[in-house]
A and B are shown apart, each in its own frame.
Chain A
Amino acid sequence: MTPAALLALSPLAIVAATILGVLLGIAWRRQHAATAVVTGVGLGLALSVLPLAWRMAPLATPLLVVDGLALFAMALILVAALACTTLGHAYLEHYRGAREEFYLLLLSAAAGAMVLAMSRHLASLFLGLELLSMPLYGMLAYAYHERRSLEAGIKYLLLSAAASAFLLFGMALLYAQTGQLDLAALTAGLAGRPGGWGLAGAGLMLVGLGFKLSVVPFHLWTPDVYEGGPGPAATFLATASKVAVFVVVLRLVTTAPAFQAEAMGAILAALALASMLVGNLLALRQANLKRLLGYSSIAHFGYLMLVLVVAGDLAVESGGVYLVTYLVTTLSAFGVVTLLSSPHGGEDAAALHHYRGLFWRHPYLAGVLTVSLLSLAGIPFTAGFIGKFYLLALGVEAQRWWLVAGIVLGSAIGLYYYLRVMVTLYLVEPGMRRRDVAVDWGGRAGGVVVAGLALVTILLGVYPAPMIAWVRELSVLAGG
């Protein structure tokens, strides 16, 4: 391996070294705060060497590639992992039992997500996906003495294993057709006519990856797992995990011709439309904020799949912008839920009645949640608006009228249930249920992070130019 390749892969190496550091630290002495700090420092260090790796890009090793798309995804994943670390520290502060393993699992999952974003070979794709999922089982079932948390972990484990089987079978079919596992070689092998086996393989792979993205026919696990999993774990699942899987699907769709076949495009468009409508309609009647966010994430990935259907330069750029806005917004929404929950008091505080009158008890937290819900709904002057605007422009330019209509209709339905939650925040009711965070929430790292994310959400909505320039610069390199 050349020094350039080592430098380009240094973010991954730093995260892996942090895993070992945390492991040895736990073996030596259990220290919650110190473990969280080491985790944060490791992730921050990995984030800070990304510009160095950027100088080496584009660079390809036999299994991994470091290009604009990979670096973009890695930045998002590391930011999400950092936010989850601080949220996790706040969440686990009162957890009785072992707390330090959570950071170990979080770091492993982040490493897996990074590998997934960089993969250019089906072997590294599969290894990355498993390295991402395996710690997530543990994170979701972390508070295993809670029935729901354990249920979430088991559910995700079983269904995810089934999805992995689909993915592997699809890979085997592609291998049978071409004799190659390398993405570039696969592309060459499938060039011209993909053939029946190739198409079937691509379809099966799409099932496996669509499960992780919780696209509509494969979405059934999402609300239960989001509801049951501990706050920080659900946050990671909703942000970093989905970003990584989406990036790898984007890479597959833009490079492999089997994914650009006519039939495949039609299937992708149908899945996108179904996700938008089903996700939004099912969210309408939810009385649980985490379930509601789960359904809303199904709808959001339905919107995002427009990028896969169109698949071009502008598509990659708008996908990038949408991912940034989705990540920031979802992190802050889940962050508030996490801060309000405490595992020692039973399940997470996610039922809507916990949030009734939140504004009168915790105006800042209610404000943060309001901003993130507005952004999820796509109201102007928030980040969500910019992302949705990009997608609509993309859809209109590619003349995908059905999908554009789906986005508009979905947003209209979405506005209703987001507003319903917002109204709840400001209602006053005598004898309301109290489920309070620590009084000095603003001083805690988690509170600062959540408030910062809300600020970023507004900032991106008002002044999106730097983000757009950044995404454009990175997406230029995506093809390399």
Chain B
Amino acid sequence: METAFYLSGLVAILATLRVITHTNPVHALLYLIVSLISVAMVFFALGAPFAGALEIIVYAGAIMVLFVFVVMMLNLGGAAVAQERTWLRPSTWLGPALLALLLLGVLAFDLWRSDGGRTIAGELLTAKAVGMTLFGPWLIAVELAALLLLAALVTASHVGRLASRAGAGTTPGEERS
């Protein structure tokens, strides 16, 4: 299992590096998906299957597919690649890199003097507890949230309809989608 952990960690780092340096957005996003999946693998290797599953379902599954879809719809061509290349200058990435370095320092410091158990005091909120509450006494809240999302979706789809189609003489039934 240890080799799996190190291998997927390495893949995650390399893939993420390519996400940043790649100048074609679609390829960069594909690398990001690989990176997210390898992070999920890291979770599995560490014995946190729920977090790993969530990582795949939510990030790699839903959000990234949406990203790729939108980027493909925007149909960015060679101009975007050139633009991305000009953006990759030290002045752009120096700030975020420093901040990330600070976080890395904190992490390294923590790992170095790892005496364990030095977490913030409090109840551990497990996935099981969340699920038991949501689908036990709070079941109605989940259902209501679903209705709320449905209403928001219908509102957005109605108002987002092209004005020319709604305004100028479409017969009802033609707009079915």
Which of A's residues lie within 8 Å of B, judged by CB?
1, 9, 16, 19, 23, 27, 29-30, 32, 61-64, 96-99, 101, 104-105, 108-109, 111-112, 115, 123-124, 127-128, 130-131, 134-135, 137-138, 141-142, 144-145, 150, 153
**Which B residues are in CB contact (< 8 Å) with A109?**
151
**Which A residues are in CB contact (< 8 Å) with B157?**
101
| Residue pair B166, A30 in contact (C-beta under 8 Å) | no
Q: Which residue of chain B has the shortest Cβ distance to A145 in the bound complex?
A: B167
Q: Which residue of chain A has the shortest Cβ distance to B158 in the bound complex?
A: A101
| Residue pair A144, B145 in contact (C-beta under 8 Å) | no
Cβ distance B125 to chain A, nearest Cβ, rounded Å: 15
Contact A97-B170, Cβ < 8 Å, known A111-B147, A127-B144: yes
Beyond contacts A134-B155, A135-B151, A138-B154: 16 other A-B pairs, Cβ-Cβ < 8 A, are A16-B147, A19-B150, A64-B140, A96-B169, A97-B161, A97-B165, A98-B166, A101-B154, A108-B151, A112-B148, A124-B140, A127-B145, A134-B152, A135-B155, A138-B155, A145-B163
| Residue pair B158, A134 in contact (C-beta under 8 Å) | no
Measured in the bound complex, the distance between the Cα atoms of B79 and A70 in whole Å is 61
Cβ distance B139 to chain A, nearest Cβ, rounded Å: 8
Q: Which residue of chain B has the shortest Cβ distance to A109 in the bound complex?
A: B151
**Which B residues are in CB contact (< 8 Å) with A123?**
138, 141
| Residue pair B150, A124 in contact (C-beta under 8 Å) | no
**Which A residues are in CB contact (< 8 Å) with B129?**
none
* B176 at interface by CB-CB < 8 Å: yes
Measured in the bound complex, the distance between the Cα atoms of B155 and A109 in whole Å is 12
Q: Which residue of chain B has the shortest Cβ distance to A128 in the bound complex?
A: B144
| Residue pair B170, A131 in contact (C-beta under 8 Å) | no
* B116 at interface by CB-CB < 8 Å: no
**Which A residues are in CB contact (< 8 Å) with B140?**
9, 61, 63-64, 124
* B110 at interface by CB-CB < 8 Å: no
| Residue pair B167, A62 in contact (C-beta under 8 Å) | no
**Which A residues are in CB contact (< 8 Å) with B175?**
30, 97-98
Per the CB 8 Å criterion, the residue count for chain B at the interface is: 30
The one of A64, A105, A131 that contacts B148, using a Cβ cutoff of 8 Å: A131
| Residue pair B154, A124 in contact (C-beta under 8 Å) | no
**Which B residues are in CB contact (< 8 Å) with A131?**
144, 147-148, 151
**Which A residues are in CB contact (< 8 Å) with B144?**
112, 115, 124, 127-128, 131
| Residue pair A96, B170 in contact (C-beta under 8 Å) | yes
How would residues 27 to 45 of chain B score, 1 for a CB under 8 Å from any chain A CB and 0 otherwise? Answer: 0000000000000000000
Q: Which residue of chain A has the shortest Cβ distance to B140 in the bound complex?
A: A63
Measured in the bound complex, the distance between the Cα atoms of B160 and A137 in whole Å is 13
| Residue pair B173, A29 in contact (C-beta under 8 Å) | yes
Cβ distance B42 to chain A, nearest Cβ, rounded Å: 34
| Residue pair A19, B159 in contact (C-beta under 8 Å) | no
Which of B137, B167, B172 has most A Cβ within 10 Å? B172
Contact A108-B147, Cβ < 8 Å, known A63-B137, A96-B169, A97-B166: yes
Cβ distance A142 to chain B, nearest Cβ, rounded Å: 7
- For the complex, would chain B's binding face be called helix, strand, loop or mixed by DSSP majority? helix
The one of A1, A96, A141 that contacts B166, using a Cβ cutoff of 8 Å: A96
Cβ distance A103 to chain B, nearest Cβ, rounded Å: 10
Cβ distance B105 to chain A, nearest Cβ, rounded Å: 33
Contact A98-B155, Cβ < 8 Å, known A30-B173, A124-B140, A127-B148: no
Q: Which 5 pairs of residues, A with B, have the shortest CB-CB distance?
A: A138-B155, A97-B166, A62-B137, A108-B151, A135-B151
| Residue pair B154, A63 in contact (C-beta under 8 Å) | no
Cβ distance B123 to chain A, nearest Cβ, rounded Å: 12
Q: List 25 A-B contacts (CB under 8 A).
A: A1-B139, A19-B150, A23-B150, A29-B173, A32-B172, A62-B137, A96-B169, A97-B165, A98-B166, A98-B175, A99-B172, A101-B157, A105-B151, A108-B147, A112-B148, A112-B151, A127-B148, A131-B147, A131-B151, A134-B151, A134-B152, A135-B151, A137-B155, A144-B159, A150-B159
**Which A residues are in CB contact (< 8 Å) with B137?**
61-63
The one of B138, B141, B158, B172 that contacts A30, using a Cβ cutoff of 8 Å: B172
Measured in the bound complex, the distance between the Cα atoms of B163 and A97 in whole Å is 9
Cβ distance B5 to chain A, nearest Cβ, rounded Å: 39
Measured in the bound complex, the distance between the Cα atoms of B171 and A449 in whole Å is 29
Contact A98-B172, Cβ < 8 Å, known A16-B143, A63-B140: yes
Cβ distance A422 to chain B, nearest Cβ, rounded Å: 37
**Which A residues are in CB contact (< 8 Å) with B166?**
96-98, 144-145
| Residue pair B169, A138 in contact (C-beta under 8 Å) | no
The one of A62, A111, A142 that contacts B158, using a Cβ cutoff of 8 Å: A142
Measured in the bound complex, the distance between the Cα atoms of B71 and A148 in whole Å is 34
Measured in the bound complex, the distance between the Cα atoms of B153 and A138 in whole Å is 10
**Which B residues are in CB contact (< 8 Å) with A105?**
151, 154-155, 158
Measured in the bound complex, the distance between the Cα atoms of B155 and A63 in whole Å is 27
Contact A138-B163, Cβ < 8 Å, known A19-B150, A32-B172, A96-B169: no
**Which B residues are in CB contact (< 8 Å) with A64?**
140
**Which A residues are in CB contact (< 8 Å) with B170?**
96-97
Which of B137, B155, B163, B176 has most A Cβ within 10 Å? B155
Measured in the bound complex, the distance between the Cα atoms of B151 and A134 in whole Å is 7
Which of A30, A32, A99 has most B Cβ within 10 Å? A30
Cβ distance A132 to chain B, nearest Cβ, rounded Å: 10
**Which A residues are in CB contact (< 8 Å) with B161?**
97-98
Measured in the bound complex, the distance between the Cα atoms of B94 and A58 in whole Å is 63
Q: Which residue of chain B has the shortest Cβ distance to A150 in the bound complex?
A: B159
Contact A130-B148, Cβ < 8 Å, known A30-B173, A105-B154: yes
Q: Which residue of chain B has the shortest Cβ distance to A141 in the bound complex?
A: B159
The one of B138, B158, B159, B173 that contacts A63, using a Cβ cutoff of 8 Å: B138
Q: Which residue of chain B has the shortest Cβ distance to A134 in the bound complex?
A: B151
**Which B residues are in CB contact (< 8 Å) with A32?**
172
**Which B residues are in CB contact (< 8 Å) with A108?**
147-148, 150-151, 154
Cβ distance A65 to chain B, nearest Cβ, rounded Å: 12
Measured in the bound complex, the distance between the Cα atoms of B148 and A130 in whole Å is 7
Measured in the bound complex, the distance between the Cα atoms of B176 and A27 in whole Å is 7
